[in-house]
Amino acid sequence: MNKKIIRFLWVSFIGLLALCIGVFSAITSFMVRQNNAALNRVVDTYMEGMSTQIQRHFETMVDMRLIQVGGIVQAIPPESVTTLDQTTRERFERAAAYRGFIHLALYSIEGEAEVLYGEDVTVEDKEIFLADMNNGDKLVTLGTTAGGETMLLYGISVGYPNDVGYPMSGGQRCTALVVGLPIDQINNALSLGVDSTLIFTHIIRADGTFVVENADIASDNCYDWIRENGRNYGLEDIDDTMAELRQAVEARTEFSMVVSIGGEAGHVYCVPLPNTEWTMVTVMPRGVLDEALATLGNQRVWTALAGCSIIMLAMLAIFLVYFRFSRQQMAELDKTKQKAEHANRAKSEFLSNMSHDIRTPMNAIVGMTAIATKNIDKPDQVKDCLRKITLSSRHLLGLINDVLDMSKIESGKLTLDMELISLREVMDGIVSIVQPQISAKKQVFDIFIQDIREERVYCDGVRLNQVLINLLSNALKFTPAGGQIHVTLSQEPSPKGEGYIRTHFLVEDTGIGMSPEFQSRIFESFVREDNKRVHKIEGSGLGMAITKYIVDAMDGTIEVQSELNKGSQFHVTLDLERFEEREEEMLLPAWDILVVDDDERLCISAADALQEIGLRADWTLDGSSAIEMAERRHAEARDYHIVLLDWQMPGMDGIETARRMREKIGEDVPILIISAYDWGSIEAEARAAGVSGFLSKPLFKSTLYYGLSRFKEGAEAKNEADQEAGADYTGRRLLVAEDNELNWEIARELLAPYGFELTWAENGRICLEKFQASEPGWYDAVLMDLRMPMMDGYEATRAIRACDRPDADIPIIAMTADAFSEDIQRCIQCGMNAHAAKPLDMRELLRTLQGLMSPTANGPG
């Protein structure tokens, strides 16, 4: 592999590796920051919820105690007490003790206290306390007993605003009723200070001193404790943070911050307590959370590294596999290069062979033309020259068609034109094409029909003909004189479903066969077996490649089996779409038929087909047995209704068998010759021997039905050959659009003998003008070339169809050398009725004209 490519691949891999590591690192760092931010949000939410819960719990407890104090006032209304005697004191004492209070006192407006129950207590922040009481507020504060015990005090105003308070011993009226509880009840009531919890809750005054301290703190002031821990933690902005905290406490607003608590990060959340001047400070150490976060971060980093490693390993594996594939691709490219060089050499050899193959018929054409010119006064020799020129021209045309087809295949432009065809007509056409060559080489040719369920199917008839003709042409070329060539046509259900029928075409010969090496390359382009046995056999080396391509395009298969000097077998399998419309029911009377053929397969298939149309069939393999069977039935007065005799049989052929059978059974029983050969060459001899008629192989069910129907009572025999022979086109007018004068002359000379009157138009525009200038119905058809100056055949056709004339639908037939299926489709799409390829096949052209032209008094219609 190129060193630059290898270096590029490695540099790309290392760069991609570095990029992945960098991306993973950035993602991990970003996720850690996001985790910290998310943790802070979670802790804030959690602390806020916990503080709110504790705050509400404290508020509930305070409200409950204040309600209890109010209950004392309701139990002992101030207006019901005129003097503070012993009885009243005892009532207050009982009310306080019942509610769990350990202290109860009355306070005057000036702040003088009269203790009714418990010890004397010094009120903290007495001025604030009196101000709230005198204003009718409720207040919770602290007090200290003479013994130094801190007490939680609840006070409510009793004299405000109506100056109706309890009388005091000094003759004054009290302004407030105050009760006390031990300070420890706050912790118990609020579940604060539980050792197992991570959260500690303190209550502080505005100056930072502790009201309730639920942890071992070395300082008496919360601010100093937090500041000292923050400095130990290295927080440079701790003074600013403490200023914000003090400001929030004084303003009685919530505040949250993160500081060092005991050497580790702690989350501090402050919230004011209702009905007090205090602030609740909740502290949650984040050591466990930080450890969990660190563990999670480490796990994330290791997971990211593991993921990165896995991806890197996968990339490395992919890289190595790609590297390996690249090396294989380079090796394959080298092989492809070698194949291309081999193909180029093959094409060069092919062109060399084609040059020889093309020059051979061209030499014959030129030579025979020169000979005919020199011997113009010798009709027989000129006729022989013209026959050889015709044969050479057809061979040259076949070579050109193969090259053009291969060009279409290699450019991917060969298309299929699916149409409704008759397999019987296809096989009949094949027989008519190969008959002359088979007769010339005296080869034995037979077609076998087995289990044909659908005669009419959808297929590209032209391409199917091409496949079969290619296979048969090879069989004819490579089978020596006297050899055998068989075609077998059979059908079976298709795996593609009920809408299709699987059709098999089997072409077998007893020719020279092929070597195993050549069999593996037979379907390659530009390949011919390099063997002295085939050097004198004409061919382009493209037929099998074209055949394989057509079969593949039809989603079919083609297989070959061959053995040197023993013959070859080609098997084509196609799944063809059925024609849904049912044909007319083909049934004949229950006649007894005798089938005579030396091939058992043909006898069996013919007997099966006869039974399908309602007949009873016996068969035998030779003429002698046939005569005995017919004679025995004749003696029993139950003659066969019809006898079918093969023409070519060993020992006694069909004509001799017919002659001897007539001697035994008389003239009443029709005897028909069945053969794949031309009837004309043996008709006179056969008639003289007593043969009643002829049936052409292959014996399809329809062939048998229509061939035997003429023997029904009242039926008229139809002889297509006689009809064609009697066709007369005298008076028919054709408008021929052709820009080449030589082609016009050829068309005139070929068509005029049949009675046609031809008018020449040198291009499409002149053709349109002559059509428009003629009377409606003057021309019977238009023969339209496609490639013409001024206006081509397509434009001329569209212009004629657009004319405002009753005969604008005149039959227009493309007469062109553009003979591919896409050319035919384009002709039909632009409005033409049919297509005839150059060089002209007069039989097909006459059949097309007869089918398209309307009948006239002097025509054949």
Beta bridge partners of 577: 458, 500
733-852: CATH topology: Rossmann fold (3.40.50)
Segment (H or E) for 262:
none
pLDDT in tens, 367-394: 778 778 878 888 877 877 787 777 667 6
Topology given in CATH for the domain delimited by 415-578: Heat Shock Protein 90 (3.30.565)
Cβ 853 vs Cβ 781: under 8 Å:
yes
End-to-end distance of the chain based on CA atoms, in angstroms? 75
pLDDT of residue 796: 94
Q: Ramachandran region of residue 380, left (φ > 0), alpha (ψ -120 to 50) or beta?
A: alpha
Nearest to 521 by CA among 342, 667, 660, 371: 342
* pLDDT tens string 808-846: 999 999 988 776 667 777 888 899 998 888 777 777 788
pLDDT at 778: 94
Fold of the CATH domain 592-718: Rossmann fold (3.40.50)
Q: How far is CA 555 from CA 551, 576, 608, 652, in A?
A: 6, 10, 30, 45
Residue 715 main-chain phi, psi, to 5 deg? -80, 150
Question: What is the distance between the alpha carbons of residues 109 and 758, in angstroms, rounded to a whole number?
Answer: 144
Rounded to the nearest 5 degrees, what angle is found at the Cα of 49, between the Cα atoms of 44 and 53? 145
pLDDT digits (tens, 9 = 90+) for 533-556: 444 444 455 678 878 888 988 889
* Partners of residue 642 on adjacent β-strands: 593
Give per-residue pLDDT as tens, 21-67.
Answer: 777 777 777 777 777 677 667 666 766 676 677 777 777 888 888 88
* Model pLDDT for residues 560-610, shown as the tens digit of each residue: 998 888 889 999 999 999 887 655 677 888 889 999 988 888 888 888 888
CA 843-848-852 angle, 5° bins: 150
Say which residues have a Cβ less than 8 Å from residue 827's Cβ, sequence separation at least 6: 786, 793, 794, 797, 814, 835
Neighbouring residues of 493: CB distance < 8 A, sequence distance ≥ 6? 501, 502
**Amino acid 347: pLDDT:** 64
Residue pointed to by tokens 């020596």: 480
Q: CA 316, CA 311: separation in Å to the nearest integer?
A: 8
Mean pLDDT of all residues belonging to the chain: 79
Q: State pLDDT tens for residues 695-742.
A: 888 888 888 888 888 887 644 434 433 444 445 688 899 999 998 888
- Bridge partner residues of 559 (DSSP): 571
Answer whether residue 468 shows pLDDT above 90: no
Q: What is the Cα–Cα distance from 815 to 834, expressed in whole angstroms?
A: 9
Residue 705 makes CB contacts below 8 A (sequence gap 6+) with: 586, 588, 613
Place of tokens 């007993």: 145
| Helix extents (H) in 375-454 | 379-410, 423-441
Predicted confidence (pLDDT) per residue in 480-522, tens digit? 888 889 899 998 999 998 889 999 999 999 988 888 887 877 8
- Of residues 218 and 694, more confidence is placed in 694
254: its two tokens: 């919530």
Could you state, in order of their start, the residue ranges of all structural domains in the chain?
68-185, 192-285, 291-406, 415-578, 592-718, 733-852
In degrees and rounded to multiples of 5, residue 409 shows phi and psi of -65, -45
Of the two residues 850 and 32, the one the predictor is more confident about is 850
Residue 255 Cα to chain centre, angstroms? 64
The pLDDT of residue 760 is above 90: yes
Q: What is the pTM of this model?
A: 0.46
Q: What are phi and psi of 385, to 5 degrees?
A: -60, -45
What is the pLDDT at residue 557? 93
How large is the average pLDDT for residues 281-295? 70
pLDDT tens column, 73-120: 888 888 888 888 888 888 889 988 888 889 999 888 888 888 889 888
CA distance 735 to 764: 11
- Annotate 436-484 with DSSP letters as a single string: HHHHHHT-EEEEEEES---SEEEE-HHHHHHHHHHHHHHHHHHS-TT-E
Cα 792 to its chain centre, rounded Å, is: 42
CA atoms lying within 13 Å on the CB side of residue 436: 3
Amino acid at 177: L
Report pLDDT for 528. 53
Average pLDDT of 418-422?
82
Which amino acid type is present at position 386? Answer: L
Q: Are residues 151 and 102 in contact, defined by beta-carbon separation less than 8 angstroms?
A: yes
What is the pLDDT, as a whole number, of residue 191?
Answer: 53
Helix/strand/coil (H, E, C) string of 663-730? HHHCCCCCEEEEECCCCCCCHHHHHHHCCCEEEECCCCHHHHHHHHHCCCCCCCCCCHHHHHHCCCCC
Name the fold adopted by 192-285: Beta-Lactamase (3.30.450)
Dist. CA 832–CA 811, nearest whole Å: 7
Q: Tens digit of pLDDT for each residue in 308-363?
A: 778 777 777 777 777 777 777 777 877 887 777 776 766 665 555 555 456 556 66
Q: For residue 403, name the pLDDT band (cuts at 50, 70, 90).
A: low
pLDDT tens for residues 222-279? 888 888 877 776 666 788 888 888 888 888 888 888 777 766 777 788 888 877 788 8
- CATH code of 291-406, in short, is 1.10.287.130
**Separation of alpha carbons 236 and 242, rounded Å:** 12
Residues 124-159: tens digit of each pLDDT:
878 888 888 888 788 788 888 888 888 888 888 887
pLDDT digits 0-9 by tens, 691-706: 888 888 888 888 888 8
Determine the Cα–Cα distance for residues 73 and 66; give it in Å rounded to an integer. Answer: 11
| Domain 68-185 in CATH 3.30.450 | yes
Phi, psi of 679 (to 5 degrees): -75, -30
Contact at 8 Å (CB) between 732 and 859?
yes
Q: How far is CA 183 from the centre of its chain?
A: 82
Phi-psi region of 858 (alpha: psi -120 to 50; beta: other; left: phi over 0): alpha
CA 800 – CA 812 distance, rounded (Å): 10
The answer to whether 291-406 and 415-578 have equal CATH topology is no
